[in-house]
Each structure stands twice: as structure tokens, then as C-alpha cells.
């Protein structure tokens, strides 16, 4: 895998509370230069980034729904999703209601996700964030089952707002559960070329990392 191929697996993001337009424009320029597949921003910036990426082939704009806690009331999440589509979002990362999930309100959690995903349209790629570092080992299979039944395209490991990074061993377990029924995105703690390889080998088709540029430069320096 060369650097260009690797870039097509990487989402870059500016989703912290303090990120300004300048930070986002910098992220867009990096995506333009390295051809990262997606630039992920908070909802209020989607229309802006969609405009900035108009002439950049192969790079789309993404945004979260129910970020970062997932506990918004369902009508709020649905409205947020609809507005994101209107503003030009192409990928949507939907935070599962983790509290209700851990309370074993599985039907409510599934219904919440289905309502959001049903209003996105077939052209929008959807990812469900299960916040893996909040889950016990015995909860993982049920979380995977709910995401598979929701109609999402991807399962994503976390928001990056909960302490602890992605875990390749747990990602491998998720892959064994979901097989080809879902793609997997790992996010958090992916800082080196070796980390990237480990998560790809564990079954990931997408990675979220703030170290994207240094990873790609490392691949170029290594001749990949």
C-alpha cells in the first residue's frame, strides 16, 4: 500500500470545541494535498467545508450526529441529520445512545439509529459510533448486532472524547462478529505506520487519526 492508497483509508477531523475556521481551512488544505478521503467537522461548518471541497475530487465532507454523547432526543438527532444532508454532508457519524444501551434499552437504541439513518438517503454513507471504551467485553456482541440491524454502512469504535484509544484486539473481535455485513472504522490512538497496519490487519476499512500526515510521510520515507 502506497501513501496515496493509505490516504483513501483516512478521515481527518476538526471537531473540538475550540476549532476555528482557520483550523478547518488548514485541515481542508491537508486533505486537498494528501487526498484524505473525508474531512470531518462539527455540524455548523458543513456548508462551509462542502464549498471548500467542491473542486476536490475524491474528498468528501463528514459530520457527527448526536455528538459527543449520543443522548440527544431522537427527533433532535433526526433534524440534525436532515440539516446536514441539506448542507452537503456525504458521510455521517451517528453516536449511539450509550447510556440507554448500557441500561439494556436495546429496542430504543435501535429505533433511534433507524430513524436517523432512514432520513439520510442512499447516497450518504453512515457510521454508528459505539464508544467501545465505555463497553464491557460482554456488551460488544450486542452492540454489533444493533449496528448491523440499524442499516448503517460502518461501525466506528469511538468519538475520541472518551479516554483511551482504539484497541486492535477488540477491533478484531468486532470483525469476527460482523464479518462482511459492516465495515469498521477505528479512531483514537492511531499515531504510527505500525498502528495503521495493525488496525487494517484487524479488519478496518477506515481510520480516524490526528497523526495522518506524519503516518503518510513515514510510509513515503519507508518506500511504501
Cα–Cα distance list, 128 to 147, 177, 194 (Å):
7, 16, 26
Residues in the chain: 224
Q: Report the alpha-carbon distance of residue 90 to residue 219 in Å, rounded.
A: 28
How many folded domains does the chain comprise?
A: 1
- pLDDT tens-digit map of 82-114: 999 999 999 999 999 999 999 999 999 999 999
Dihedral, 217, 163, 102, 120 alpha carbons, nearest 10: -40
pLDDT at 207: 95
Instruction: Give the residue among 172, 215, 221, 222 at the shortest CA–CA distance from 11.
Output: 215
Contacts of 204 (CB under 8 A, 6+ apart): 9, 171, 184, 185, 186
Q: How far is CA 120 from CA 90, 93, 123, 197, 204, in A?
A: 9, 12, 8, 32, 23
Residue that has been written with the C-alpha cell 484486539 in this structure: 169
Alpha carbon distance 73, 64 (integer Å): 15
The predicted pLDDT at position 218 comes to: 58
Supply the range of the domain harboring residue 12: 3-221
Region of poorest pLDDT, from 89-93, 141-145, 178-182, 195-199: 195-199
Q: What is the pLDDT of residue 223?
A: 44
Q: Averaged over 164-174, what is the pLDDT?
A: 93
Which candidate, 163, 102, 164, 90, places its Cα nearest to that of 127? 90
Q: Domain holding 174: CATH number?
A: 3.20.20.70
DSSP result, 47-102: HHHHHHTTT-TT-EEEEEESTTTS-S-HHHHHHHHHHHHHHT-SEEEEEP-HHHHH
Q: What is the pLDDT of residue 216?
A: 83
- Per-residue model confidence (pLDDT) at position 148: 98
Per-residue pLDDT reduced to its tens digit, 38-86: 999 999 999 999 999 999 999 999 999 999 999 999 999 999 999 999 9
Amino acid 32: pLDDT: 93
For residue range 3-50, what is the model confidence (pLDDT) as tens digits?
Answer: 788 899 999 999 999 999 999 999 999 999 999 999 999 999 999 999
User: For 153-162, what is each residue's pLDDT tens digit?
Assistant: 999 999 988 9
Rounded CA-CA distance 6/215 in Å is 9
Alpha-carbon gap, residue 102 to 17, rounded angstroms: 27
Active site residues: 93, 156, 185
- The pLDDT tens digits of the residues spanning 201-224 come to 999 999 998 778 888 875 544 444
Q: Tell me which residue has cell 470531518.
A: 40
Instruction: Specify the higher pLDDT residue, 212 or 142.
Output: 142
Q: What is the pLDDT of residue 2?
A: 75
Query: Residue 199 above 70 pLDDT?
Result: yes
Q: Strand pairing of 60-65 and 206-208?
A: unpaired
Amino acid at each position: 500500500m502506497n501513501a496515496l492508497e493509505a490516504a483513501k483509508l483516512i478521515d481527518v477531523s476538526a471537531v473540538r470545541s475550540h476549532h476555528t475556521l482557520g483550523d478547518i481551512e488548514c485541515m481542508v488544505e491537508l486533505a486537498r494535498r494528501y487526498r484524505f478521503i473525508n474531512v470531518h467537522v462539527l455540524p455548523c461548518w458543513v456548508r462551509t467545508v462542502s464549498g471548500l471541497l467542491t473542486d476536490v475530487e475524491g474528498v468528501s465532507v463528514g459530520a457527527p450526529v448526536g455528538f459527543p454523547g449520543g443522548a440527544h432526543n431522537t427527533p433532535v438527532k433526526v433534524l440534525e441529520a436532515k440539516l446536514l444532508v441539506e448542507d452537503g454532508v456525504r458521510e455521517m457519524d451517528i453516536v449511539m445512545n450509550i447510556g440507554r444501551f448500557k441500561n439494556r434499552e436495546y429496542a430504543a437504541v435501535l429505533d433511534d439509529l433507524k430513524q436517523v439513518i432512514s432520513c439520510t438517503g442512499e447516497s450518504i454513507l453512515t457510521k454508528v459510533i459505539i464508544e467501545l471504551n465505555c463497553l464491557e467485553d460482554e456488551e460488544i456482541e450486542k452492540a454489533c448486532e444493533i449496528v448491523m440491524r440499524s442499516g448503517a454502512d460502518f461501525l466506528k469504535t469511538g468519538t475520541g472524547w472518551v479516554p483511551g484509544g482504539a484497541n486492535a484486539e477488540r477491533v478484531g473481535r468486532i470483525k469476527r462478529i460482523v464479518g462482511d455485513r459492516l465495515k469498521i472504522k477505528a479512531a483514537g490512538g492511531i499515531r504510527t505506520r505500525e498502528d495503521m497496519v495493525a488496525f487494517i490487519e484487524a479488519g478496518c476499512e477506515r481510520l480516524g487519526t490526528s497523526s495522518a500526515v506524519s503516518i503518510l510521510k513515514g510510509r513515503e520515507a519507508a518506500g511504501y
